Amino acid sequence: MLRYLNQCSKGRGAWLLLALTAFALEMVALWFQHVMMLKPCVMCIYERCALFGVMGAGLVGAIAPKTPLRYAALLIWLYSAWEGLRLSYQHTMLQLHPNPFTTCDFAARFPGWLPLDKWLPSVFVATGDCSERVWSFLTLSMPQWLMIIFAAYLLVALLVLIAQPFKPRRRDLFSR
């Protein structure tokens, strides 16, 4: 399996699949926001940013998968999946254990050199409450589903990282 993951990490298809899954999740988030009229909270916006990081990792890895750029993409993937898991866990705790003294911010705090909420307000402006549970599927809320998704991203990223030293076997018809 590790040899197979090593081989996949050196091809564009796997990296594009990673970017495509993150893009699909971003489109689902925008559908929830603009079609179902669910208001995203600050934690939702930060979790979206982590998904954009995973998507960016897939695109960086697809640029030159057989070069050391693959390792940069893998680091972006690991960091984004870890941050997404951490943020969705915090968000889940805010929903499961609401506390008037522990709340999320009123607006997302982006660095001055990257004001995403000013550049693209329809995607990055938070209007909801973090402790409010507005959607669930199979008894799990949205941040709980995101915990599962980011944990899966992180697990696969760790397996791909572990697989990097494993070289694919050379297939020769006449040797043993």
Question: In this predicted structure, what is the pLDDT of residue 10?
Answer: 78
What 8-state DSSP symbol labels residue 169? Answer: P
Please say if 130 is a catalytic residue. Answer: yes
pLDDT at position 5: 73
Q: Where are the domains of the chain?
A: 1-98+154-166
Dihedral sign computed on CA atoms, order 139, 145, 148, 151: negative
Catalytic residue among 41, 70, 171, 176: 41
Whether 104 sits among the annotated catalytic residues: the reply is yes
What is the pLDDT at residue 125? 80
pLDDT of the residue at 176: 52
User: Could you tell me the sign of the dihedral formed by the alpha carbons of 151, 154, 156, 159, in that order?
Assistant: negative
What is the block-wise mean pLDDT of the chain (176 residues), using blocks of 10 residues?
72 88 93 88 90 93 84 93 94 82 75 82 79 82 92 92 73 54
**Is 48 a residue of the active site?**
yes
Given the residues 70, 104, 133, 169, select the one marked as catalytic: 104
For residue 87, the model assigns a pLDDT of: 93
pLDDT at 21: 95
Return the pLDDT at 111: 81
Count of helix runs (H) and strand runs (E) in the chain: 7, 2
Q: What is the pLDDT of residue 163?
A: 78
Model-level pTM?
Answer: 0.82
Among the listed residues 48, 70, 109, 171, the single catalytic one is 48
Q: CATH code for 1-98+154-166?
A: 1.20.1550.10
